Amino acid sequence: MIVGLIFSPGLGLFNRHGIIYPFLAVSFLLAGCRFSPTPEPPANYLVVGIESNPLQLDPRYSTDANAARIGGLIYNSLLRADERMRLQPELAERWTAPDDRTYLFDLRRDAKFHDGKALTAEDVRYTYASILDPKSRSPKRGMLKPLDGIDVLGTHRVRFRLSAPHAPFLEQFTIGIVPAGSPGVDASAKPPPGSGPFMLEAIDSG
């Protein structure tokens, strides 16, 4: 089975290097596989063919490879690895580590979710706090174990406090950010809005 996912353009946000994404219509198909006939998507839409459905697109719960690939189109994170696997600012305009237990992020002020809502420090805090909430049953909760607290210091400034120095924790700043108040995985089958260059329009299994 091959699964076709159709993406419509987002709100023209930045990519991992802070550059505006051109909205291109691109098609990725696995060798030897074909979609069943479907209407041609509009210009500026992205069509992606993958071998199976992502298990969960909400970045607080996604763990499989397909979800990571698709989620990278829908969601932005504080940091994102570049082609050389070096972490670069994405939603972060700048970030510093005042000491080995503290990370301070200043967010870009032009970031918006696909529903038009501005992305703020409260959304960042909520994303990580909801992962840490035992009731959410997020599979990523264990990876955030070193996190002792998250402080909103302003509309576009957030501070992460660790219980002890833990250099690998930097990797956790690549988790996609969702709007504050987004329901957990059991409350809605539809993933929350992202702020990435594309929105998920449809999934066509065939």
pLDDT tens per residue across span 57-96 = 899 999 888 888 888 889 999 999 988 989 999 999 999 9
DSSP class of residue 58 equals S
d(CA 63, CA 47): 22
What is residue 3's predicted lDDT score, i.e. its pLDDT?
Answer: 41
* CATH superfamily of the domain spanning 81-174: Dipeptide-binding Protein; Domain 1 (3.90.76.10)
Over the stretch 9-60, which tens digit does the pLDDT of each residue have?
Answer: 555 444 443 333 333 333 333 333 344 445 666 666 666 666 667 778 899 9
Each domain of the chain, given as residue ranges in start order, spans 81-174
Q: Where are the beta strands (DSSP E) in the chain?
A: 3-9, 27-28, 46-50, 79-81, 87-89, 92-99, 102-107, 147-154, 157-162, 198-205
pTM of the model: 0.79
Tell me the two tokens of residue 193: 């809005």
